[in-house]
Amino acid sequence: MSTVNPRRWWALLVLAAAQFMVIMDTSIIGVALPEMQRDLGFTQGDLQWVFNAYVIAFGGLLLLGGRLSDLLGARRIFASGWVVMIAGSIVAAAATTAWIEVVGRAVQGVGGALIAPASMTLLMMLFGHDPKELGRALAFYGAAAPAGGTAGVFLGGVFTEWMSWPWVFIIYIPIGIATLLATRLLPAVQSRRGSVDVLGAVSVTAGLALAVFAIVRAPEVGWGETETVLELVGAAALLILFFLIQRSVRAPLMPLGVWRTPGLGPSNLAMTLLGAAWIPMWYFLNLYLQQVLGYGAFASGAALLPMTVLLMIFMTAITAKLMARFGAKPLIAGGLLVLALGLVWLSAVEPTGTFAVDVLPASLVAALGMSLAYIPTLMSAISGVQQEQAGLASGIVNTTYQVGSALGLAALTALATSQGAGKLGNLPALTDGFSAAFIAAAGIAASGALLTALLMRGKKAAAAQAEEPTAQSYGESVGA
């Protein structure tokens, strides 16, 4: 049981701000991509790696970050992650060639992989003593992630329009330094003995990277070509190797026994599909605004600001109350279904459309679905684990979201390109491609809603589990 920390709410501000910035780093570069492409010489196909280099390093190393957090102390890993993030931001901002930019983005992703699980461990230490406080803290912390993803599009537009694209990276330098100075508000944790599964970390990161690489290149190379098939088989072999390693080593990155925790499997499946639907949505919506409606960088970012406002309001003031009353399962399934409906509505975009008719109402419906599903999914995933495994559980759920985001974006980009999204200047073809991506994303979200309804336990079942002597219940008291 954690000792009550009198500065815990100030510490929560530091952790939520860190979560906001880490997730924003996956989206802030969106509206800056055309400028970066022109200045750094990216090809149209390789431009995705500005996004995917970060996501692969982030998602692939989150489990390692969680393990290091548990062994070396969460505050120490949190601070180390910000040092790495600052270094990557300097490289990305100063890049003069495409490959240096990709390296800088990957280094930023490594920093994020250290920050995110350490943040969750620290949050559990600060608020694990009181389930009600924990619920409020998780709601505030959880709201920072999707809000950061959406706000990044807006801020990227501000920097790109009025300054220059390197500022989307320069902004992390003073913020990182300020965060390092604020780490004194966070509780200190003693390190403990243990080993690190380096081979496991290498295999899972390489497998994810190869899978995304294959999917990104498949439209150009051909899905049925030997090269694509071998890459996908190699990716699958690396991921299988990762699970075999986890079964055989003494101190695995992801002890497979953790999956016996009630709710962890279905919650992570839901989080994977949530990321696979949500991230492609804002990616293609931003392209529709700029390439079809003709919006500039700032106007495109501002057009997505209403989604950010709705997300913050619902996640901080409403979703936690709904979860306490109804439990996680109805909100996750219902939120994914609402997200799917918003995406179907977005698929009706027209080449001669307008923001007020084609974008605003549908995007708000999609944001409502996200705001209903995200926090309950997060809380359901971590509610049953022991406190010393909080870093591991956080790493797993963040990994599944990032993996879903990367694979979803790669697959839907391939689909959109095949349907006309690669024909710049041809507005009907572009719109057809984006519409196809929205429909596919809706299908992903709807499948998530269905699987949640079938696989996840309801509130009554969770309550029954909490009464068992072996249950870990600090999250179940709020309906997880």
> DSSP labels for 410-461?
HHHHHHHIIIIIT-TT-HHHHHHHHHHHHHHHHHHHHHHHHHHHHHS--HHH
pLDDT for 331: 93
- H/E stretch holding 337 reads helix 328-346
The torsion defined by the Cα of 100, 104, 107 and 108, in degrees rounded to 10, comes to -160
Look at residue 262 and tell me whether its pLDDT is greater than 50: yes
Residue of 479 and 363 predicted with greater confidence: 363
- H/E stretch holding 381 reads helix 360-382
pLDDT for 81: 92
pLDDT for 476: 30
Average pLDDT over residues 76-98: 92
Pick from 373, 307, 308: nearest CA to 339: 373
- pLDDT digits 0-9 by tens, 155-212: 787 888 788 889 889 988 998 898 888 888 887 776 666 667 788 888 887 887 788 7
Q: What is the average pLDDT score of the chain? A: 81
pLDDT for 335: 94
- H/E stretch holding 366 reads helix 360-382
Q: How confident is the model at residue 472 (pLDDT cuts 50, 70, 90)?
A: very low
**58-72, 125-139, 397-411: segment of lowest average pLDDT:** 125-139
Count other Cβ atoms within 10 Å, centred on residue 227.
12
Average pLDDT over residues 357-376: 92
DSSP characters over 92-129: HHH--SHHHHHHHHHHHHHHHHHHHHHHHHHHHHHHTT
Q: How confident is the model at residue 469 (pLDDT cuts 50, 70, 90)?
A: very low
The proportion of the chain whose per-residue pLDDT surpasses 90, expressed as a percent, equals 23
pLDDT for 44: 59
Pick from 179, 136, 169, 178: nearest CA to 18: 179
Instruction: Give me 70's structure tokens.
Output: 């548990």
Look at residue 148 and tell me whether its pLDDT is greater than 80: no
Pick from 393, 401, 396, 339: nearest CA to 366: 339
Q: How confident is the model at residue 279 (pLDDT cuts 50, 70, 90)?
A: confident
pLDDT for 211: 83
Radius of gyration of the chain measured on its C-alpha atoms: 21
Look at residue 458 and tell me whether its pLDDT is greater than 70: no
pTM of the model: 0.77
In this structure, is the dihedral angle defined by the CA atoms of residues 376, 382, 387 and 390, taken in order, positive or negative? negative
Pick from 156, 203, 159: nearest CA to 60: 203
Which residues does 229 contact at the CB level (< 8 Å), separation at least 6? none
Interatomic CA distance for residues 114 and 104, integer angstroms: 16
pLDDT for 417: 82
Q: What angle do CA 276, 175, 142 make, to 5 degrees?
A: 40
- pLDDT digits 0-9 by tens, 280-329: 888 888 888 888 898 877 787 788 888 878 887 887 778 878 887 888 88
pLDDT for 277: 94
Q: How confident is the model at residue 84 (pLDDT cuts 50, 70, 90)?
A: very high
Range among 22-36, 309-323, 396-410, 437-451 with highest mean pLDDT value? 437-451
pLDDT for 93: 93
In a 3-state reduction of DSSP, which class is residue 252?
Answer: coil
Span between the terminal Cα atoms of the chain, in Å: 20
Average pLDDT over residues 124-134: 75
Interatomic CA distance for residues 238 and 242, integer angstroms: 6
Range among 278-287, 421-430, 461-470 with highest mean pLDDT value? 278-287
Residue of 139 and 111 predicted with greater confidence: 111
- pLDDT digits 0-9 by tens, 29-83: 777 777 888 888 887 567 777 877 887 788 778 778 877 887 788 888 999 999 9
